Amino acid sequence: MRDELIAARKTVGFTQEQVAVLVDIDRSFYSHIERGTKTPSLEVALRIANAVNKKVEDIFLPNKVSERHNPQHEVEAS
């Protein structure tokens, strides 16, 4: 999650403060989310994903999504 969130934020050119303001949370809380020391509520996770133009699952569940949608994984499982 950490790397995906940081990359998404930097791709849109936002600082942590800018995302925090858009999402209506404290910058320090956002920083904790990026570092992985705090977990956002579903509502906050959705607002963060929206702020950085990503799907919530791409940021907060990247491994689970890639496993479900990996055609090679499906072939091996057969």
Q: Which residue has the tokens 């607002």?
A: 47
Q: What is the mean pLDDT of residues 31-60?
A: 96
pLDDT of residue 22: 98
b/e per residue 11-43 (b: at least 16 CB within 10 A): eeebeeeebbeebebeeeebeebbeeeeebeee
Number of domains in the chain: 1
CATH number at residue 25: 1.10.260.40
Mean of all residue pLDDT scores within the chain: 87
Cβ contacts of 52 within 8 Å, gap of 6 or more: 5, 8, 9, 11, 12, 14, 19, 59
| Residue 62 pLDDT exceeds 90 | no
Q: How high is the pLDDT of residue 78? A: 46
Neighbours of 2 (CB within 10 A): 12
Of these ranges, 1-10, 40-49, 57-66, the one predicted with the greatest mean pLDDT is: 40-49
Range of the domain at 31: 2-77
pTM value is 0.78
Band of residue 31 on the pLDDT scale cut at 50, 70, 90: very high
